[in-house]
Homo-oligomer: A and B are copies of this chain.
Amino acid sequence: MAIVEVTIVPLGTGSTSISSYVAKCHRLLKEEKVKYQLTPMGTVFEGDLDEILMVIRKIHEVPFNEGAMRVSTSIKIDDRRDKKGSIEEKIKSVEDKLE
């Protein structure tokens, strides 16, 4: 089970706003089966690593399809093989220790 955060940023578009690109990525994600969650600094996926990387590869193209000529994409993989884990469990395991 992998939990993966991705941030996709087009460079040189002439606008400081990137929400329209992120929204277009998320429209594409609605067609996909993988579990994901929007956060203030990226989109976090949970599931099979290869399925997630395939989806990320697709959304990496979105800014180019919208006319961008340079894209900076950062991917952070947290791949744990000693337990199944989930997005909710990662948060819960910290919050439980704060009670």
Q: CB within 8 Å of B: which residues of A?
A: 3, 5, 7, 9, 11-20, 22-23, 26-27, 37-42, 44, 46, 49-50, 53, 57, 60, 64, 69-82, 87, 90-91, 93-95, 97-98
- Asked whether B40 lies within 8 Å of A44 as measured between CB atoms, the reply is yes
- Asked whether A91 lies within 8 Å of B38 as measured between CB atoms, the reply is yes
How many copies of the polypeptide does the oligomer hold? 4
CB distance from A30 to the nearest CB of B (A): 8
Chain B positions within 8 Å of A81 at CB level: 64, 69-70
A98-B23 contact in complex given A73-B77, A79-B60, A81-B69, C-beta closer than 8 Å: yes
A76 and B56 alpha carbons, distance in the complex (Å):
13
